Chain A
Amino acid sequence: MLIELLLAATFLSALWVFVASDETAPKLAAWLSLVPLGLSLYMWTQFDAAGNGLLAGSEIAFETQIDWFQFGQYTLQYHVGVDGVSFPLVVLVTVLTTLAIISSWTPIDERQSQFYGLMLLIEMALLGVFTSLDFFLWFIFWEAVLIPMYFLIAVWGGPRRKYAGAKFLLYTNLGSLVMFVGLFMLVLGLGDSLTQLSLPAIAQGLQAGELSRPVFGLAGADLRAVAFLLLFLGFAVKVPVVPFHTWLPDAHVQAPSPVSVILAGVLLKMGTYALLRFNFTMLADVATSSPAAEIIAAVGVVSVIYGAMLALAQRDLKRIVAYSSISSMGYVIVGLVAFTPHGMSGATFQMVSHGLISGLLFMSVGVLYNATHTRMVGDMGGLADKMPLTAWIFVAGSFAYMGLPLMSGFVAEVLIFIGAFDSTVVAGAPVFTAIAMFGIVIVAGYLLWAMQRAIFGPFELETDYDIEPAPVHDVAPLAVLLGLIILLGIQPDLVYEAIQDAIGPVLELNSVFGGELR
């Protein structure tokens, strides 16, 4: 019942804000967003899932399963519920949305009711993505995320907002198409045995055995492999994985900062979440086969290093953070493909951690921009003097991004490294891991440089605006995020325990398919 309440409350809030006046919308949206936030936190206290929601023998929390309508041989269902993988992301969505809404108060000064309505709408769609357990339902939410995001970029964005918005929409939609084809090949391949499109049914059907029916002339292992590839390509756009990442910097640079928070903080996690659910759970046999595992590991390593190198070449603070996200998402890929406890769980933890940290950085870049009206590192200096609190929180966020211990980023990355190093699935895992780890040096390089130039040194500002310390409602969300980052850095088991519990059954798949668990 709680998930329905969550979705309904968010949806109704969105509608309410849409019809509210522009003057009342900002505060109203913030108040209303506390409802899903409070609900998700309450659900945390009630959370009792065990195992992985997609696999047999699990207990799904807050599950609802109702037949919806018949489509050919398939009964489409309204089927929602969460497990240890999806629930942390649900909480992340509610936390980030509230904070992003508050941080929009300063920069968003036109068409407020539509802006905040869309923010709440996107929250609803995101909650849907992470709670749906029926493919059809999941896909509707998956696509529904795109529309509000498109408008948020294309209406409230920077000078090239239309280009960036369209690129985002078309590119990720193309990804969805490819992914959709991949999944339906599997569905068709499963033949008559499959009577519903619920994700657990598909996953368990795929584990049960052969794909009996040829699709497009492919059957058995070939069909699995091709479907795996299509799914991977589809999700790779979303993550994004190099070389499918070029929509991301444009979208981030043009989007208003609070929208970037949602985009980097949660939207990218849709990609890695889906990879985990579809590629690494449903088709674990393909993911653990050679050379697929090595190729994916290499793709992850390339994303880490190449993304970091690109960030190094940027002069726009927001572009720096945007490219960093590519690098951080690369770690997730490296962790997932390892098929070890800490590798996969650490990758999932990284999704949450990076959501908080990239949210913090984008938000603080936004607060700095509100005051300076520039994001170019060369145009500013010594901001710590004029807006100390924001500047120091930006410094703290940068160190979090660099993986400073006692902050969540360190725990996530070190777990991924530990897990990836140990992988028996990826041949030469220690070498892949060691190369990926070099990302921690490059990230320090560009963030330290950016801080030295923009935050420290003598004060200077090309745009000649008078700088005043940011208002409380700009700084408070930053402080909350920083607090959460430190909390998870000291006590990661708050969410990591649940994640490990849900990842465990996925790892067993590897041994089912003949691999070896260490």
Chain B
Amino acid sequence: MVGLTPLSAGFSLPFVPGIGGVEVTVLFPLVTFLLILAFGRYLPFKGAYLGIVSTGVGFLVAVATVIQLATGAGIRHETLHTLVAGVEGAGVTLTFGVLIDPLSALMLTIVGLISLLVHVFSLGYMNAEGEIDLPRYYAALSLFTFSMMAFVISDNLLMSFVFFELVGLCSYLLIGFWYRKPGPASAAKKAFLVTRFGDYFFLIGVVAVLGTFGTAQFAGTESFVTMAETALESGDASGINTFGFGAQTWFTVIGLLVLGGAVGKSAQFPLHTWLPDAMEGPTPVSALIHAATMVAAGVYLIARMYGFYALSPTALSVIALVGGFTAFFAATMALVKQELKQVLAYSTISQYGYMMLALGGGGYLAAVFHLTTHAIFKALLFLGAGAIIISMHHEENMWEMGGLKDELRTTYLAFLAGSLALAGIFPFAGFWSKDEVLYETLIHALGGGSPVLFVAYALGLLAVIMTAFYTFRMVLLTFHGEPRTDAAEDPHAVSLSMKVPLVVLGVLSVVAGLLNMAVLKSVLPKDALLLERWLNGETVGGEFAEGALTAEHYHHVLTSEYGAGYTAGYGGLGEGTLALVGGVVALVLAVIPALVAWRLYGGADPDPHMTNLGSLRTLLMNNYYQDEYQVWLARGVTLPVATLANKFDQGLLDGIVDGSGGVSLFAGGRFQRLQSGVVTTYVALLALGLLVLLLVFAVTGGWL
């Protein structure tokens, strides 16, 4: 694909502005949002087609951008809008701008593609089902696509925060789409509030970055990333304000603060609780926002400023541990869930854990790779789940399904492809990317990194086993065996508009792994690792390398003395051999639980084996009582404190005022005559007061 056979340099698509104006990609959905908001009711299919056209064109521009980058166009970094101009020499300037480099172009393509497919899918899922309020749905979807794309092309941290919050708003609106029911209304609130808690730390981080460096730019020599690197490399932090801390310590603090936002948005422990609830939203929304794109924003953010994180071994260790633990922790909960979307929700949390693990473990490339493949196969699984839910007349419990594979052939095959990718079975997409995540973490742990990396790696490995198990349990319960209900006996047919996205994503789930077959790096020619070449900017001009945004550069910082000081170790095996061994181990660890699942759930009428887990199952079904704990924090701690403050305020503070002042007296009746009097009484009263005051001063001041 990209980069293999460079297209001629003069190549350009006449009908799309391409890299020179990629911001138009972003503007299409914005205009669509406004149009649907204003005229949605009158538009054909309530705005669905408009959304399809605008995301379609957006996707084409993104592809054109990728092609142009692949054929040697330089990166684009330009300020487009000045939000607040700082006064010369004092006060920072806040801007919006675009940064188009291999990372953002790749992400832009993913967002464009998934958004387009979800729009198409919605024709079947929403329009055909006779939902009301569709203009609101499509308007919010367009607003989301706009915000997400703008987030992706952000050239500075403040702009990232702005659109990070806006995608959160869209998520709120879409989770709460069916707001008349109490469930979605509550889930929407929870999602915004929990992620807001993470964003609180993120915003402190943004403010700290601006206070420290005076800029929040990601790229270029004047960027905060480069300034931080230079400060540590030269040991001279005189140009920046580290607020009395050592430079590296302060960078770690900033890094961890920004991480707070990523933990919230990417649903990492302990701020993951909103994501399963977010499944109250329409399923296409779950696929787009709560699986493929918005949830990826946290990971993308860390990747976007990876040059900064690569400077702090502590921050990286924390990220690895959070990621590894979340991957494991969420997978345990997915084991026992009965509802299709719940399994997928916990699976999503777990998979984002892998990406965090990769980032913390020094695998920038692996994280981006897994982000890409996961976006494809998880969007597929959610859309597949949507197709199943429609055909099952909105039944989501897997125990009410069974035997759907014969009736829903296309859906089954596509869903199976996605499941094999999720479980990490060779040669599906997830196999390659998940393996690379584990491999990168392992070599940096072996290389003498922090012992935390070993722990995180082990957790990630355990999660592989569980992932394969719950994935096959899900597939078998849904599609195999005998139909367990009337609805499963005679499912509703899946319409074409739903099939097409499934097929496209199904095919991609099979082949996306080809992007970077690092497991086979010992046997493949070096040029075959396409994604690595892409993120190293080998197709992009020299300007890019200087921009310090390449995977190579991040690796350089990561392994340098002044940076995180990571080194790669291969445990006595060669690099290529270890990669191969790691791949085989991961495959075996995935295949065995898959076989176990087959044994347990593969029969015509499987038993609910998970009930054998007893109280452990209860614990898992209740999500370790994490939600109860958070509710307790809100209702058991915060609310009583607020109520107490209110009592104090009403009783004591206001009591003093009422008691001491003449308020009650004045209002109470003794001044009734004055009270009912005319304006002049008051004017006279005030004037009299003023006169007395002046007289006092006149006398004390001695000028009368």
Contact = CB atoms under 8 A, between A and B. Distances in A.
Interface of A: 72-73, 139, 143, 146-147, 150-151, 162-163, 165-167, 170-171, 173-174, 177, 180-181, 184, 187-188, 215-216, 243, 246-247, 306, 309-310, 312-314, 340-342, 345, 382, 384-385, 399, 402, 404-406, 410-411, 414-415, 417-419, 421-422, 430, 433-434, 437-438, 440-441, 444-445, 448-449, 451-452, 455-459, 490, 492-493, 496-497, 500-501, 504, 507, 517-518
Given A341-B86, A449-B189, A417 B197 contact: no
Main SS of chain B's interface residues? helix
B662 A170 contact: yes
B654 interface: yes
A415 B185 contact: no
B9 interface: no
B409 to A, nearest CB: 40
A421 B92 CA distance: 12
B163 interface: yes
5 contacts: A139-B690, A170-B662, A430-B211, A448-B189, A457-B181
Interface stretch (B201-209, B376-384, B587-595): B201-209
A340 B701 contact: no
Contacts of A421: 207-208, 210-211
B352 interface: no
B641 A448 contact: no
Interface residues of B, number: 75
A243 B653 contact: yes
Interface string B517-534: 000000000000000000
B567 interface: no
Nearest to B210: A418
Nearest to B666: A166
Given A312-B642, A496-B84, A452 B211 contact: no
Contact of A441 (B180, B200, B206, B675): B200
B169 A399 contact: yes
A177 B693 contact: yes
Contacts of B577: none
Contacts of B91: 340-342, 345, 419, 500
B686 A411 contact: no
Interface stretch (B43-51, B108-116, B282-290, B643-651): B643-651
B165 A405 contact: yes
A247 B657 contact: yes
B85 interface: yes
A430 B208 contact: yes
A22 B180 CA distance: 42
B324 to A, nearest CB: 28
B1 interface: no
B270 to A, nearest CB: 15
A418 B90 contact: no
B704 interface: yes
A58 to B, nearest CB: 15
B682 A171 contact: no
A457 B90 contact: no
Given A150-B682, A170-B661, A406-B162, A452 B180 contact: no
Contacts of A452: 185-186, 188-189
Contacts of B698: 72
B80 interface: no
A306 B207 CA distance: 23
Contacts of A171: 657, 661, 663
Contacts of A312: 638-639, 642
Contacts of B667: 162-163, 165-167
Q: Which residue, A314, A405, A496, has most C-beta atoms of chain B within 10 A?
A: A405
Contacts of B639: 312-313
A378 to B, nearest CB: 14
Contacts of B675: 162, 166
Contacts of B163: 405
A180 B700 contact: no
A72 B87 contact: no
Contacts of A455: 179
Contacts of B243: 430
How would you classify the secondary structure of chain A's contact residues: helix, strand, loop or mixed? Answer: helix
Contact of B85 (A385, A437, A497): A497
Interface of B: 82-87, 90-92, 94, 158, 161-163, 165-166, 169, 176, 179-182, 184-186, 188-189, 192-193, 196-197, 199-200, 203-204, 206-208, 210-211, 241, 243, 634, 638-639, 641-643, 645-646, 649, 653-654, 657-658, 661-664, 666-667, 675, 679, 682-683, 686, 689-690, 693, 697-698, 700-701, 703-704
Contacts of B686: 143, 146-147, 173
A518 B212 CA distance: 11
A318 B255 CA distance: 40
Given A310-B649, A382-B180, A418-B210, A72 B90 contact: no
Contact of B701 (A188, A384, A385, A418): A188
A411 B84 CA distance: 9
B185 A184 contact: no
B645 A310 contact: yes
A444 B193 contact: yes
A314 B682 CA distance: 34
A387 B243 CA distance: 51
Contact of A458 (B180, B193, B206, B683): B180
B161 A405 contact: yes
A171 B657 CA distance: 8
B247 to A, nearest CB: 16
Contacts of B188: 452, 456
Contact of B703 (A73, A418, A419): A73
A394 to B, nearest CB: 13
Contact of B704 (A72, A399, A404): A72
A38 B424 CA distance: 67
B85 A411 contact: no
B224 to A, nearest CB: 14
Contacts of A184: 693, 697, 701
Of listed A143, A421, A456, residue having the most chain B CB within 10 A: A456
B176 A434 contact: no
A418 B94 CA distance: 11
Contacts of A73: 703
A448 B84 CA distance: 29
Given A440-B203, A441-B196, A445-B638, A457 B179 contact: yes
Contacts of B200: 437-438, 440-441
Nearest to A424: B241
Q: Which of B188, B207, B683, B686 counts the most A-chain CB atoms under 10 A from its CB?
A: B207
Given A143-B686, A166-B667, A314 B646 contact: yes
A302 to B, nearest CB: 11
A163 B669 CA distance: 11
Contacts of B642: 309-310, 312-313
A474 B197 CA distance: 35
B663 A163 contact: yes
Nearest to B183: A457
**Which 4 A/B pairs are nearest by Cβ-Cβ distance?**
A341-B91, A72-B703, A313-B646, A456-B185
A315 to B, nearest CB: 10
